[in-house]
Structure 1
Amino acid sequence: MKEVLNQLVNFGFLQSVFLLLIFLVPAKKEKNINSYMLILIMITLMGLIGKIVYNSGIYGSNFRFIAFSEFSALLFGPTIYLFTESILHKTKYTHSNLFHYVPGVAYSLFIVVYFIIPSDAIILSRIKTGELQRVIYACHAVGLLVNITYWFKGFKVFVNFEKEMKKEASFEVHIHFMRNFLFLTGFCLLVWTVLFVTSFFGFPMLERNARPYIWILLTLIILFITYYLMLQPQVLRSIPEIKSKKYHQSKLSIEDMEILKVKLDKLMLEKKPYLNNKLLKKELAELLGINGPELARLLNENVGMNFFEYINYFRIKEFVNLAKTEKGKQLTFYGLAQEAGFNSKTTFNKSFKKLMGVSPSVYFNQKI
């Protein structure tokens, strides 16, 4: 089993080197390399190097190489957060964001001073008194605290982005990469936490024996990134840039809002902008002759829906009307949904059931 774990770590190391080369020697047309993805790969690579050298036995089974791997321990969380922020909000790398790595740098300096520089005699003395084990537990606790805090910050960014997209876009943005990425890294932190907690309940050897699996999880992160970059190289650039603005300073009167509501209803019936399956709020606002925040106010105060719900409401109505035509009888439900402006089967099914209370098949069976 140990040999299998070591081989997986080696494989993860080779994958990270391969990805690093892809990032550092990009094709001329690939200029928009995400800096935090690059940092994440280098951090993972750094964490795996110490483990590989230790396993190789080239310099003997010197525990200091394992300590070297700890340099990356507090760097994952901040990078996960900054990577999530940069992908979803289109923010670029700035030197000011380096302050998020201060805890990781301080931790690495402590590892050097306490674990790597001291002689073997000093380390053995600390082992006998139990001091070394207590310090290791303290290091694990600090690592968990920092990384979990930053993971939740990244997860909060993701959740808020999903909510914001409902206000700005009429379609469901494909952010499965970020959802899966956060799930995988969150699972790593969960396993780390479980291993840490078990050591306080009389199972110290269980924690020690299970530590190699942490390296397997790091390997899985590398494989996960490789999978997406190879099969979906456009995934990091497919999320639209949307900057939402508040409408609390809108100067439109109640009468103005009523007039706009009538104008909007007419626009939706005559021009059917909802048939554009990539319709954005700012585009509909331009057709109406107002700005995005004013349209958001109109929908919230005079319609009672957000932009996503409002547009898909009209698409569902279009779908039902199309289903009654001769052409509609020749198409599948999803084919009709595409004709009505939907670009996702999942979004269509969810929207239909939310509005009609039942699935499309049940609805039409009831009608028949």
Structure 2
Amino acid sequence: MSQRLRIFLFIIISSIFNTVQGQVTFVIESLPNTTPEEDSIFICGSFNNWNTHDEHYLLHPQLNGNYSITLPADTGTIQFKFLRGGNWMKVETSERNEYLPNRVFTYGNGKTVYVKISNWQDLGGVKHFNYLILFLFAAAFYGLALLFLVYRIQKCNRSKFITFLISNIILLIALLGSVMYNITSLIWQSHIAMLGYVLFFTWGPTLFIYIGTLRLHKLPKKIFIHYSPTLFIALFAILRYINFKPLMFLSKEINLHLTLGSTIVLLLGIGVNIYYHIRTIKYLQLGQRANDDKRPIEVQLINIIFITSISALLLLCLNILFLTAELSWVVQVKFEIVLIILSFIIFAEFFYYWKFPEILRDRLVQHPINDASNLITQLTELMQVSKPFKNPELNIAELSDLLNTKPHILSKMINEHYNKNFRDFINEYRVKEFIAMSISEEYKNYTFLALAHEVGFNSKSTFNLVFKKNTGLSPRDYMKQKFNIIKDK
């Protein structure tokens, strides 16, 4: 290589190096919660004669949601400020919405300057309150109560409990995430949105596994493979959070609400969710084809969950279509309505699991009933193993449904074989269970009233009357005489 060429390349490389070294990048890492999503953010200062609407000094969002701009190399000291929409009435102010002196920067080596904006002059810290988040927060609280309710259901099918837990925790995170999205800053909203993308990809697979487990009473095979798209999106979210350079093109804005990256993720997510909703339909058809399916309550809950989920998905598809078309008069930018619809799954579960906890229990293997002796055997087995009498709302129709028989047949058999009506028959089992639990080491710290509620009595007065009817003594006197057990009522 000739001497002249070497000198020429050295001069070019040195020039580029010096230019890059002299540049400065300003990164806004914190914005006020009041910042409107649709407003552009500009930097203006002595370097552009304080032009507030200079398109060359418009900040652009990074992959991780921070806003940044790189100023060309220069020397000396500059003064500058940030403002929204190119309007001096929307300039940055202090936390107390007071005037701020100009920011100052002195050029030297190339560097990145991180900036926090405390307030905007026109907003003064006031943010419009979204009342929908009150409903979402209430639904999340209701969901927590549901988790405790199901946890207390005895002899739950392990597979059903696991899938219930996973699906409801995901829904709870989505609800609480939406609440946080509405009360935090624009930059943190972008971080929460990344979590939303990941949850979006768990929606369809989790519905498929949850409903499948309720129908089959066991986990479907190879469940982890269903979450492979979720892992892919989780990796994308991590790369986006660290501003992975090769993916910067995905931050290109398509319109006011969508970037190229968010559009691709939403479309892929819709595809994944539609696929799994279609696959879930086979579990709904399973109950229609199976002649031995005698659990209509379970089928009702499954249908409610599926219909609610497919309705929310269709609304989400319409919402994204409106976002793409920029139909601002019908658009729901933050998708709260979709989550409100999904939250009705929590309310439905609470009702059904509270009133019919046997949905989550192991199904008793049933055989055709040909005569009264078979029915008596099955009834005895059911009462001793599944203990449906612990449900305070148990009635003859529900019990006959568990035994694959008709209510009038079961009622007649109880009357003729046990010489009791249905209520006395059930209460006798409750009293026996109360006595067994009272002398058990596991329940030694329970009061009599707490044990009465555990076995299915819903009031103290009813419990005392039934107990005395069956034993001739009050609960306190009976336990003291027979077992020398004394407890507070």
Smaller-chain TM-score range? 0.5 to 0.7
Matching residue's letter, 1:86: T
2:209–2:219 CA contact under 8 A, matched in 1: no
Structure 2: distance between partners of 1:130 and 1:192: 18
1:189/1:62 CA distance change after superposition, 3 Å: closer
Structure 2: distance between partners of 1:210 and 1:227: 29
Counterpart among 167, 186, 193 of residue 40 in structure 1: 167
Deviations 1:236-283 (A, max 9, x none): 3386669xxxxxxxxxxxxxxxxxxxxxxxxx9xx789x97xx9xxxx
Matching residue's letter, 1:106: F
3-state secondary structure, aligned to 1:42: helix
1:206/1:82 CA distance change after superposition, 3 Å: same
3-state secondary structure, aligned to 1:206: coil
- 1:146, distance to aligned residue in structure 2 (A): 0.8
Counterpart among 306, 310, 318 of residue 182 in structure 1: 306
- 1:78, distance to aligned residue in structure 2 (A): 0.8
Structure 1: distance between partners of 2:336 and 2:355: 29
- 1:210, distance to aligned residue in structure 2 (A): 6.5
2:301–2:348 CA contact under 8 A, matched in 1: no
RMSD: 4.2
Structure 1: distance between partners of 2:318 and 2:257: 23
- 1:75, distance to aligned residue in structure 2 (A): 0.6
Structure 1 portions without partners, runs of 5+: 243-267, 280-310, 316-333, 340-368
1:129/1:28 CA distance change after superposition, 3 Å: closer
Matching residue's letter, 1:88: R
Largest Rg, 1 or 2: 2
Matching residue's letter, 1:211: F
- 1:88, distance to aligned residue in structure 2 (A): 1.0
Match of 2:353 in 1: 229
- 1:234, distance to aligned residue in structure 2 (A): 1.9
Corresponding residue pairs, total: 254
2:257–2:333 CA contact under 8 A, matched in 1: no
Counterpart among 316, 333, 352 of residue 192 in structure 1: 316
Structure 1: distance between partners of 2:143 and 2:272: 24
Matching residue's letter, 1:139: V
Residue 281 of structure 2 is aligned to residue 155 of structure 1: yes
Structure 1: distance between partners of 2:258 and 2:326: 18
Matches within 5 A, 1:171-320: 173-174=296-297, 175-203=299-327, 206-209=330-333, 211-237=335-361
1:10/1:191 CA distance change after superposition, 3 Å: same
Match of 2:486 in 1: none
Structure 2 portions without partners, runs of 5+: 1-127, 379-403, 413-489
Match of 1:349 in 2: none
Match of 1:76 in 2: 203
Counterpart among 222, 234, 238 of residue 112 in structure 1: 238
1:154/1:128 CA distance change after superposition, 3 Å: closer
Structure 1: distance between partners of 2:162 and 2:238: 27
Match of 1:55 in 2: 182
Residue 216 of structure 2 is aligned to residue 92 of structure 1: no
Larger RCO of the pair (alpha carbons < 8 Å, separation 6+): 1
2:252–2:260 CA contact under 8 A, matched in 1: no
1:46–1:71 CA contact under 8 A, matched in 2: no
Identity rate, percent: 16
- 1:58, distance to aligned residue in structure 2 (A): 7.8
- 1:15, distance to aligned residue in structure 2 (A): 2.2
- 1:29, distance to aligned residue in structure 2 (A): 4.9
1:28/1:58 CA distance change after superposition, 3 Å: farther
Structure 2: distance between partners of 1:216 and 1:123: 33
Counterpart among 125, 141, 147 of residue 20 in structure 1: 147
Counterpart among 3, 6, 10 of residue 137 in structure 2: 10
Structure 2: distance between partners of 1:234 and 1:241: 14
TM-score scaled by length of structure 1: 0.56
Matching residue's letter, 2:215: L
TM-score scaled by length of structure 2: 0.44
- 1:11, distance to aligned residue in structure 2 (A): 1.1
Structure 1: distance between partners of 2:343 and 2:361: 25
Match of 2:191 in 1: 64
Structure 2: distance between partners of 1:129 and 1:191: 20
- 1:213, distance to aligned residue in structure 2 (A): 0.8
- 1:147, distance to aligned residue in structure 2 (A): 1.1
- 1:135, distance to aligned residue in structure 2 (A): 2.1
1:11–1:219 CA contact under 8 A, matched in 2: no
1:272/1:21 CA distance change after superposition, 3 Å: closer
Counterpart among 133, 143, 147 of residue 259 in structure 2: 133
1:60/1:144 CA distance change after superposition, 3 Å: closer
Matching residue's letter, 2:206: T
- 1:39, distance to aligned residue in structure 2 (A): 0.6
Structure 2: distance between partners of 1:61 and 1:225: 32
